[in-house]
Structure 1
Amino acid sequence: MALHWKLVIDCRDPHILADFWAGALEYAVEDPGVLVAHLLAAGQLPEAATTEHGGSRRFATLAAIRHPDDAFDPFSGTGQGRRILFQRVPEEKQGKNRLHLDVHAGEPGLDVLLGRLESLGAVRVTEVDRGPAGHWWVMRDPEGNEFCAAG
């Protein structure tokens, strides 16, 4: 049986990156507001461990996104399928990513995708044109993580 998994990305601001990647991938930002409120009311979570974001209380050091078609737990907001978790770490990004996402344009085309990604805060770094083998852009998200946008 295949294992359940999620991709975890270390970052400085998990909520900013969750918003960016939700927009880039057309995913939903998970809202753990009900769970956070429950934990606060039960005295199991200090107020200092939370933040206000997107109109609800969230965990200050964690944010996640999920595919909008996948099931999720309404109490915790946790996706039960394809998801990415962003966790705050104290250190800045160092060096080139050892793992990156490739975002494919599909029907609208690469120029439309590039414009949408830039409007969300991405920056173009390097254009790669390999003729029949492919054409893509290396880009950076708001924290400098590299990813590729392909036609």
Structure 2
Amino acid sequence: MDDIAKLAGVGRGTLYRRYPDRASIAVALLDEHERDLQERLLRGEPPLGPGAPPAERLAAFYAAMVRLLEDHSHLVLGSEVGRSRFETGAYGFWRAHVRALLTAAGSPGRTRWSTSCSPRWHRRCTATSARCSASPLSRSPKR
């Protein structure tokens, strides 16, 4: 906390008034990186951005999310306190994005996933890209 306060040019007390705990600081620092990924999902090139089939976009999203988690693991781990991480706007965005892609892909489990995409399932899927790419949802749907 002292190092962060010094870098920000404020006192430690000022820092604690704005961010009551370390998790709050980690969430704030992670926010910029999450916003960048959100922007690429909304306006980027396919397959991450619009224009690719839903299954390809989902696979690209999970690969990008794994990169984000690996690149900023210290912030992600620092923000994983209680449920606060899952109450951020970014997490809601990820959940809505995955839900929309699963619905658009017409996945067999569409009803279940569109109504409940639990944080525990999300952590399992983003923990390793190999597990996600092996998922039936990462394959293009047959039409």
Same fold flag (TM > 0.5): no
TM-score (norm 1): 0.25
When you count helix as a share of all residues, which structure comes out higher? 2
Normalized per residue, the structure richer in strand is: 1
TM-score normalized with structure 2 length: 0.25
